[in-house]
Chain A
Amino acid sequence: MSAHAATPLPSEVPLKISYARYDAAQEPKQLEAIRQLISSDLSEPYSIYVYRYFLYQWGNLCYMAMDGEQIIGVVVSKLEEHRNGVMRGYIAMLAVKEQYRGKGIATKLVQMAIDAMIFGDADEVALETEITNTAAIKLYERLGFLRSKRLHRYYLNGNSAFRLLLPLKSQGLLHEHEEHECGEDDGHDHGHDHGHGHGHDHAGEECGGHGGHGHGHEH
């Protein structure tokens, strides 16, 4: 689990962390490091295609925290049209190496991703996080996210999630009569789909945090 929030650094040496946007040209060097960083927080690893899915399409929304040459933190996101033309940013993965937690690195990474999404004209930013992951929840709530709903047994480990949303633009809802757009955007997927062998569909809508620990974080 990732919620061991504030593990202090063993040394008192002030950190010199630099931040960089993901660079596709550096793939051979960076992708594996990012993957390792994230999968250490997951009970079940993501396939390489998950990383490719995000990094090739939204590499500009992926930021890394580096200690020298070493990648010690990463945020992976996407931004695309959701329902009713809403541009929704989505923070899929966030991880900071355990010994670097509690230093505001994750917050910084998330802020960089959000800023990039705002630049990309996002209407809102969404993510899911385990309800027991208080450090992550706090991190996002301090930035302005709101819990929009609770998702029962969302993760493979049987834990529930909160969906957190950060509204960036008014969606002009006042007294507009829109069919079924009441902030609860996935209530229609009544889950009677028998016979799948996957279990991944919990991540149905956004697929961010399967494996139980999608957002691994500090505060």
Chain B
Amino acid sequence: MANTGVDGVRDGPAQPNMKNDSIPAMHPNSPLSTDSFRDITAEFFEASAKLNVGQLVKDPYFTLLQAVGALEIMDPKMDSGMLEAEYESFNALKPRLPEEVIGIMDQLLSYEMAWHNGSALSQTVFTCLYIDRLLSSGPETLAQATFASFTGIEGDADSKERQLLENVLRPYCLALIKCCYCVNQQIQMEHIYEEEDFVTQTYNVSLLDSVEPNEILNILDSALQWLEATKNSYSNEIFEALECRLLHRKALFRDLSREIEEWVSGVPSEWDSSLELLAKVEKSHPLGKPVSEAFSTSVQRKLASQVPPRPMVEISFKDATSSLKKLCIEGKDVLKILKYQGSTNLVNYFLNFMARKPSPSPYVRSLLQSLFFKEMKILGTMPIKQLLFDDVRELTNPVDLLLDPRNEAVEAPQDPRFNIVKRTNWFIERAGRSYLDLFRNICQNRSRLRRNLCHAILDWDSLQVECEEIDSELRELTQEEPQKTPNGPPSYSFPLSSWVYLYKLRQMEWIILLGFELEVYQPHEYADMFWYLQIYVRTKIGHLERIRQFATLNTKVVSKNKKKKGYSANAQQQKSLSLLNYYLLEGSAIQELAGAMVNVYVALSRLTLLRKPPQPYSSDHLRYELRMKPFFTIGCPEVVPYDIFTTLVDNPQVETLELLELASESIAQARKDFDQLGKLDAETSRTALCEDAFKINNREMLRSCIGLSVAVAQITKALKSAGGATQEYLEVEIERAKYHPSFPVPSIKNKAPIKTAPIKTEPIKTELIKTEPGKMELGKTEQGKTEQGKPEPSKTEPSKTEPSKTEPRKKTKKKATGKKK
């Protein structure tokens, strides 16, 4: 087997001991002498001659990864050693025109951003032969990093162009390399998926690791001085183009090389000036002249000999600059979190920031994690406990005694407060970990987020059980009075486990929302999954109401007992109630919209306008198990058994027209709720750090409501017309672009003009449209859409559609739940 150095494989339990069994990659500096090798060619051929065709000799641990990692020597598509070593003959001292220097700088910037976006250095920055020349000698100081080659092809050292290389291009390249170093360091510090989001591999090439940031700034300053002194040698345009590139690199480097501690201490960022300078760089880009000979994949011959040669990852200069702009904007944005405005604001910032499209860059996602939590401090200043307690307090408003910092001073082991602290300390330790993971998970790419959440909910589920036990002990210690319920056992507040349960439910909800966003769910599954979304949100609402009941109560108790504490407790209570009310409103909005989605997608499926693929293998029951697998082990809420589930979703005893009517009502309510949400100030919605994103999200939700109500009106109209809502007349497509990513909307197109003689004469329900005179675009859209319907001659469909109302449905068991409460 040739070259099977599979190091760094991702080892899952499926392949035990893989790392140990793979042939180790040889360390480049390993002291192996040639004496330790023996030529076995003859023996090998002799042995292989004894094999029959179709016979294979392999050791039992020969894994697929090793097979995939194997290379065939001398196959030019696999053996990077066959690349011609272009870097050896490259003359980095060859005089270049200033235009060419600009071209090289801009090309480098493009590769740098391609690397930021997830490609390997060997396919991007390292393909630049100037960079190769600077780094190939393994320089430990800046002075050692030169363009001079070993072979010593020297040009005219005094020529203007040659000086330009030395005094401008070289400093620029060195600063760029050090920028890469900083980015790599930052990314390795936090949780970002290697290879998936970013490639940190440097192929044992030091990115000027031992050079101090100041040296880079100095060399850039010298470059700027030199440029200024030689200003008369270029046109003004060229001068400015070169100058803004150096200045831009300097500003960028200053921010990329900042330590987290500096950000925390409030050092002003230069992201804004980076942006301004980048605009100048962009403007002068056309002056540059590309130098294609300065870039070559041949460096892979020495860098990454264990992988096949891979092409350079070309991204356009325009894409590169827009990536970089995005990075600067995001880099500045994440600094906002340092101004702590409460735990809920922080969670919301993470959620909204990561929902951005396109996704924030890996570097910034890593930076955000470091700013949030580093060396056991939140935002550089707070203990985890503070954030955690803030969050529990804001949500559940527990009795003061529970989280009172003065409890910690109590040393008598028999004192209840001593025992309270014992338990809350356990909580900080246990729940703190899960809570930090939650923030970290949100910083991952969306696909990972969903997968990680599927694991996280198990953790939160057991955390909930553990906390219920602790809550029971705590209520003895705080002497909590049970609250009497009209017809049930007395109940207690369970503040810690209530907090846990809410986060668990939210994460379950996110898993489903992400399923839609990532297109893991297919349109024929939409009704099912919106049904679950609705159930989880409804469960959440019930839980929030319970929390609110106790949050209201706790203050009364406290203010009765301690007259002086009355005011502050009241403010705390206000805060909790405002948060709970906010969550309830948001929950109601989503529940209504999800409910409407269920009804509409069920209607479309009844009308066979949206059909399942044939699926000859497996069964719907098995697919249901697979789809719900992440949730099966969750204690509460439980996954519904399949046969009950189908009846609940399909709602057979409700007629299609009625389903649509119910959907209309739900949409109207959802719109009201979203409208109200949109009017809330940032303080109430806890979006002080991300108000814009919150508003955008809300607008997308509203658009989904509107789009859905248009669809409802169209299906209803067709249903009531002579032809009916059949495939002959209607065509359904799922639209995502205009709407909220988690609430895709069916777009209904008329294939043929709907016959005007309606069966029933009553007008189509349009009350929904009329209720909101402020937002009349709905009415317009609806009209526009129906009239736009292409009156194509009906394509000869095998029209085996049945009239909608006679749907043969499965047995009816339970009352419809698609209905409103």
Contact = CB atoms under 8 A, between A and B. Distances in A.
Interface of A: 24-25, 27-28, 44-50, 52-53, 56, 82-83, 114, 124, 131, 138, 141-144, 146-154, 156, 158, 160, 162, 165-171, 173-207, 210
Contacts of B313: 158
Given A146-B626, A182-B458, A198-B69, A152 B8 contact: no
Nearest to A138: B613
Contacts of A210: 68
Contacts of B615: 141-144
Contacts of B66: 49
Interface string B300-311: 000011111010
B56 A83 contact: no
B455 interface: yes
B266 interface: no
A174 B521 CA distance: 21
A55 to B, nearest CB: 9
Residue picked from A149, A152, A166, A170, most chain B C-beta under 10 Å: A152
19 contacts: A46-B67, A56-B54, A142-B614, A146-B626, A146-B627, A149-B447, A153-B197, A170-B622, A174-B625, A177-B633, A182-B454, A184-B454, A189-B12, A191-B196, A197-B305, A200-B65, A201-B6, A204-B9, A204-B10
Given A187-B455, A194-B188, A144 B623 contact: yes
B771 interface: no
A173 B642 CA distance: 12
A35 B504 CA distance: 48
Contacts of B305: 197
A198 B630 contact: no
A191 B10 contact: yes
B7 A197 contact: yes
A175 B640 CA distance: 11
B191 interface: yes
Given A45-B78, A189-B10, A198 B307 contact: yes
Contact of B630 (A44, A52, A182): A182
Interface in B177-232: 188, 191, 193-197, 199-201, 203
B39 to A, nearest CB: 22
Contact of A184 (B9, B10, B451): B451
B285 interface: no
A185 B10 CA distance: 13
Contact of B629 (A47, A131, A141, A182): A182
Given A47-B78, A167-B625, A170-B625, A199 B616 contact: no
Contact of A168 (B25, B195, B617): B617
Interface in B60-78: 62, 64-72, 75, 77-78
A24 B448 CA distance: 40
A179 B455 CA distance: 9
A24 B54 contact: yes
A197 B25 contact: yes
B454 A199 contact: no
Interface in B268-319: 304-308, 310, 313
B41 interface: no
Contacts of B639: 174
A178 B458 CA distance: 10
B458 A141 contact: no
A144 B618 contact: yes
Contacts of B58: 56
Which secondary structure dominates chain A's binding surface? loop
Chain B, interface size category, equals 35 or more
A149 B614 CA distance: 21
A160 B451 CA distance: 14
B195 A83 contact: no
Contacts of A148: 520, 626
Contacts of A153: 118, 195-197, 445
B12 A198 contact: no
- Nearest first, the 3 closest Cβ-Cβ pairs linking A and B are A196-B8, A183-B629, A24-B54
A183 B626 contact: yes
B194 A49 contact: no
Contacts of A187: 451-452, 454-455
Contact of A150 (B1, B447, B629): B447
A152 B9 CA distance: 17
Given A147-B520, A192-B188, A198-B6, 16 more contacts: A27-B53, A49-B66, A141-B613, A143-B615, A144-B613, A150-B518, A182-B457, A183-B454, A183-B626, A188-B12, A191-B10, A193-B10, A196-B8, A198-B7, A199-B199, A203-B68
B455 A152 contact: no
Given A52-B67, A177-B633, A188-B12, A196 B7 contact: yes
B652 to A, nearest CB: 24
B449 to A, nearest CB: 10
B446 A152 contact: yes
Contacts of A46: 67-68
A198 B455 CA distance: 28
Interface of B: 1, 5-14, 25, 53-54, 56, 58, 62, 64-72, 75, 77-78, 118-120, 188, 191, 193-197, 199-201, 203, 304-308, 310, 313, 445-448, 450-452, 454-455, 457-458, 518-522, 613-618, 621-623, 625-627, 629-633, 638-639, 641
B458 A53 contact: no
B455 A201 contact: no
B370 to A, nearest CB: 15
Given A56-B56, A153-B196, A158-B118, A83 B626 contact: no
A153 B120 CA distance: 13
Contact of A189 (B11, B69, B75, B632): B11
A137 to B, nearest CB: 9
A148 B618 CA distance: 15
A30 to B, nearest CB: 10
A199 B617 contact: no
Contact of B8 (A165, A173, A194): A194
A110 to B, nearest CB: 10
Nearest to A24: B54
B613 A142 contact: yes
A108 B454 CA distance: 34
A185 B621 CA distance: 21
Contacts of A204: 9-10, 12, 65
Contact of B65 (A114, A141, A201): A201
B70 A49 contact: yes
A143 B616 contact: yes
A96 to B, nearest CB: 20
B191 A190 contact: yes
A173 B623 CA distance: 12
B391 to A, nearest CB: 25
A170 B523 CA distance: 24
Nearest to B461: A177
Given A152-B445, A182-B458, A210-B68, A146 B630 contact: no
B53 A207 contact: no
A190 B193 contact: yes
A45 B629 contact: no
Contacts of B613: 138, 141-142, 144
A91 B187 CA distance: 35
B68 to A, nearest CB: 5
B195 A195 contact: no
B187 to A, nearest CB: 10
Given A141-B613, A144-B616, A146-B627, A194 B200 contact: yes
Contact of B201 (A49, A160, A194, A205): A194
Contact of B194 (A82, A177, A193): A193
B452 A207 contact: no
A49 B1 contact: yes
A185 B450 CA distance: 12
Residue picked from A131, A146, A154, most chain B C-beta under 10 Å: A146
Contacts of B623: 144, 146, 167
A88 B769 CA distance: 52
A189 B789 CA distance: 50
A167 B6 CA distance: 32
